[in-house]
Structure 1
Amino acid sequence: MANTPYPESYYAASANAVPPRPVLQDDVETDVCVIGAGYTGLSSALFLLENGFKVTVLEAAKVGFGASGRNGGQIVNSYSRDIDVIERSVGPKQAQLLGQMAFEGGRIIRERVAKYNIQCDLKDGGVFAAITAKQMGHLESQKRLWERFGHTQLELLDQKRIREVVACDQYVGGMLDMSGGHIHPLNLALGEAAAVESLGGTIYEQSPAVRIERGANPVVHTPQGKVRAKFIIVAGNAYLGNLVPELAAKSMPCGTQVITTEPLGDALATALLPQDYCVEDCNYLLDYYRLTGDKRLVFGGGVVYGARDPANIEAIIRPKMLKAFPQLKDVKIDYAWTGNFLLTLSRLPQVGRLGDNIYYSQGCSGHGVTYTHLAGKVLAEALRGQAERFDAFADLPHYPFPGGQLLRTPFAALGAWYYGLRDKFGY
């Protein structure tokens, strides 16, 4: 069977060394079969193992192959649609539960890093940067909203203060979230996988799930083996394909592009981001950036609907980087890559159960780093019979994309064009 390596990226090139993992070549029995060794699957597996379940993880390629190992590396709280939007959609009771959970994912990441001694360059502090006065007004109301749900590690930044945090003259202000931060995302996933194995979990790589035999005792088939389980957790997200047809209609894979500079050296890196916070702007089609452990700038932005790989990622992203930091005009780009995330029409995650024993979480819509860690805990709770938090997500309304799979990409691209114009003209 073909061996699928990591796509070329800064993260793959600087990944911590890990042992080779086996391909599933026989029949195994387990309590829970997790499909996908990204953050959702690994987080689920860890919480289940800590609660005494026997867990087997199937990964089609390698641990963290998808968005978990290719994202911008930013720990951003809440969801892709904020709690006030959720409240208008589902009412105060359900919104209260979801609001309380909105800041839990970042705490889980820090707990995992500390408990399992994961080396992933964890740094505290994330900045939302406002380009217009209207965006600044939104941050002010967002701070009040988040504080309503007990989230207090926030500071509004005026124009003078944001200049002390980032050497970019585009911003009129911002908000600093000290419970935000950044990590080397692939090394976080690899550390979590090692933690899974340290607790007796088994991870098979290059072992894609090709068919699920549903029923009272479901079986997951791979090309060379099968796993019999009491429960299945489907955690493939944008890389699930059509394994579970019910999940494909209401979501769409999208690509985001990232570049990484050559090492900048201490002086230039410190001049750009003196406190080493990560930054994202407040545009609908936002740019985001941060420093790595070896003082490179990771800069990402843009969305490709339908998850095609653009021919020249550097040509798309470098001008965005130079608009923020013209002082980098002579700096070389060492890495450029794309990774897919899963978008839903509501921009909220889809969580649920198929029959009695197949659970899923997908569609983080660009807010995956923190949400997936929370999702693992919520899925594990549901398998233990504590479903209140699971149900709060499962009851969120979701709709198929207009026109089905054929038209979902052009519709979404049209929406992005509209919001891109709004960003451009400061609406």
Structure 2
Amino acid sequence: MSSMQYPPSFYAASANAAPPRPALQGEIETDVCIIGAGYTGLSSALFLLERGFSVCVLEAAKVGFGASGRNGGQIVNSYSRDLDVIERSVGAEQARLLGDMAFEGARIIRERVTRYGINCDLKNGGVFAAITAKQLKHLESQQRLWERYGHTQLELMDQARIRQVVDCDQYVGGLLDVSGGHIHPLNLALGEAAAVESLGGRIHEQSPAIRIERGPSPVVHTAHGKVRAKFVIVAGNAYLGELVPELAAKSMPCGTQVIATEPLGEELARRLLPQDYCVEDCNYLLDYYRLTADKRLIFGGGVVYGARDPANIEAIIRPKMLKAFPQLAQVKIDYAWTGNFLLTLSRLPQMGRLGDNIYYSQGCSGHGVTYTHLAGKVLAEALSGQAERFDAFADLPHYPFPGGRALGAPLTQLGAWYYSLRDRLGF
């Protein structure tokens, strides 16, 4: 088996040092075998170890290889479909439970960073930027909705105010979430992996799971070993492949593209984002950006349904960046990369159980940095016999894509084109 290394991204180039983690060889036994060393798997492992479980994590490539180490690095609260959609879709008690959890993931990240001394360039503050008056009205409603669930660290900004936090003339206003923020995502994953090992957890890289032997004591097989466990947590998300066919049928990997500029220098960086907040706009196919610790601008956007890698990422994303910041026309792009996230038809995450002892969480639909950290806590609770919060997620409907992934990708792309057109026309 050839070794799978990180794709060439700014994050990989600036990653903290990490020890080698050898592939699994032979047979081991553990309480919980976790498939995937991204945020979901690492968060689950930490919460389980803190509860006294023994844990082994199997990673097909390297810690944080997937979306956890390639994303935009933004800490964004709630879910990809917001709480008003959930309220209309489920009963009052289920909506209350999901609403109470919507802002927990960001608190978990900060607690982990503090408790385990993780160096991941954590900064506070995130902005939702409105391009149209209709989007600003939606942000007003979002503020009232979130405050109804006790989340009050919000400031509605008019056009003059948002120009104080981002030097872009596209926006008519915005919503500042002080509890939002941004991080170096790969370094967060590496720090969490080190925390897992400090508590006695085992992580094996270059160890893709090739088969799950189901039964009273499930066994996860790799090419050169196997793990016998009491429980299995499937946390592969967009990189799970066909290991669990019933999960693959209800989700679709999608690619998103990111670029990182050369260092801008302190003066230019401070002009663009004076408070060093991260920003995402309110379009259906949104753009997002932030500064790195060394004052590069990371800018991402775009979706490729079905997760095909585009031939020229810079050609897709650079025009979006220049539309927001024409003053960067002469700035060089040092890095361009893509990564996959997992989309569900409802845009809500999927959490559940297969049989009595195989648990899963997947389908963050582009909202994964906070949700995955919450998911780890909820899964650990469920394995410990506290299933109320797990059931609130598990009871959400998990729809299959019409026609499967092959037909679902073009249909979803058509729908996205429609909503993108509405954005451009201001509807």
Structure-2-length-normalised TM-score: 1.00
CA separation in 2, counterparts of 1:139 and 1:73?
22
Alignment of 1:288-307 (within 5 A): 288-307=288-307
Deviations 1:76-134 (A, max 9, x none): 00000001100100021100100000000000000000000000000000000000000
Range moving further from structure 2, 409-418 or 39-48: 409-418
Kindly indicate whether residue 392 of structure 2 is the aligned counterpart of residue 392 of structure 1.
Answer: yes
**C-alpha RMSD of matched pairs (Å):** 0.4
CA separation in 2, counterparts of 1:247 and 1:349?
12
CA separation in 1, counterparts of 2:406 and 2:128?
35
CA separation in 2, counterparts of 1:406 and 1:306?
8
Correspondence for 2:194? 194
Q: Is the 8 A contact 2:291 2:297 kept in 1?
A: yes
Alignment of 1:331-346 (within 5 A): 331-346=331-346
CA separation in 1, counterparts of 2:165 and 2:386?
43
Alignment of 1:139-150 (within 5 A): 139-150=139-150
CA separation in 2, counterparts of 1:68 and 1:98?
23
Deviations 1:240-272 (A, max 9, x none): 000000101110000000000000000000000
Aligned amino acid, residue 330 of structure 2: D
Q: Is the 8 A contact 2:306 2:405 kept in 1?
A: no
CA separation in 1, counterparts of 2:300 and 2:404?
29
Correspondence for 2:352? 352
Alignment of 1:54-73 (within 5 A): 54-73=54-73
Correspondence for 1:254? 254
Aligned amino acid, residue 83 of structure 2: I
SS of the equivalent of 1:164 reads: coil
Correspondence for 2:413? 413
CA separation in 1, counterparts of 2:405 and 2:303?
18
Alignment of 1:234-245 (within 5 A): 234-245=234-245
Correspondence for 1:422? 422
CA separation in 2, counterparts of 1:228 and 1:420?
47
Alignment of 1:166-205 (within 5 A): 166-205=166-205
Correspondence for 2:283? 283
Aligned amino acid, residue 354 of structure 2: L
CA separation in 2, counterparts of 1:404 and 1:21?
36
Q: Post-superposition shift, 1:403? A: 1.4
Correspondence for 1:131? 131
Q: Post-superposition shift, 1:399? A: 1.0
Correspondence for 2:47? 47
Aligned amino acid, residue 84 of structure 2: D
Aligned amino acid, residue 335 of structure 1: Y
Aligned amino acid, residue 59 of structure 1: E
Q: Post-superposition shift, 1:39? A: 0.1
CA separation in 2, counterparts of 1:333 and 1:268?
16
CA separation in 1, counterparts of 2:119 and 2:298?
18
Q: Post-superposition shift, 1:44? A: 0.1
SS of the equivalent of 2:164 reads: helix
Correspondence for 1:263? 263
Kindly indicate whether residue 76 of structure 2 is the aligned counterpart of residue 76 of structure 1.
Answer: yes
Correspondence for 2:88? 88
CA separation in 1, counterparts of 2:124 and 2:92?
31
- Structure 2 gap ranges (5+): none
Structure-1-length-normalised TM-score: 1.00
CA separation in 1, counterparts of 2:358 and 2:403?
28
Q: Post-superposition shift, 1:365? A: 0.1
CA separation in 1, counterparts of 2:91 and 2:268?
48
CA separation in 1, counterparts of 2:82 and 2:134?
17
Correspondence for 2:221? 221
Correspondence for 1:24? 24
CA separation in 1, counterparts of 2:19 and 2:364?
30
SS of the equivalent of 1:165 reads: coil
Q: How many residues align structurally? A: 427
SS of the equivalent of 2:386 reads: coil
Correspondence for 2:362? 362
Aligned amino acid, residue 198 of structure 2: S
Between the aligned residues of both structures, percent identity stands at 84
CA separation in 1, counterparts of 2:239 and 2:352?
18
Task: Name segments (4+ residues, structure 1) moved above 6 Å.
Answer: none
CA separation in 2, counterparts of 1:162 and 1:155?
10
SS of the equivalent of 1:238 reads: helix
Aligned amino acid, residue 346 of structure 2: S
Kindly indicate whether residue 3 of structure 2 is the aligned counterpart of residue 8 of structure 1.
Answer: no
Q: Post-superposition shift, 1:47? A: 0.1
Kindly indicate whether residue 351 of structure 2 is the aligned counterpart of residue 330 of structure 1.
Answer: no
SS of the equivalent of 2:146 reads: helix
Q: Post-superposition shift, 1:406? A: 2.2
CA separation in 2, counterparts of 1:405 and 1:300?
24
Q: Post-superposition shift, 1:404? A: 1.8
CA separation in 2, counterparts of 1:413 and 1:108?
34
Q: Post-superposition shift, 1:398? A: 1.8
Aligned amino acid, residue 165 of structure 2: V
- Structure 1 gap ranges (5+): none
Q: Post-superposition shift, 1:305? A: 0.2
SS of the equivalent of 2:206 reads: coil
Q: Is the 8 A contact 2:256 2:303 kept in 1?
A: yes
SS of the equivalent of 1:60 reads: coil
Deviations 1:170-194 (A, max 9, x none): 0000000000000000000000000
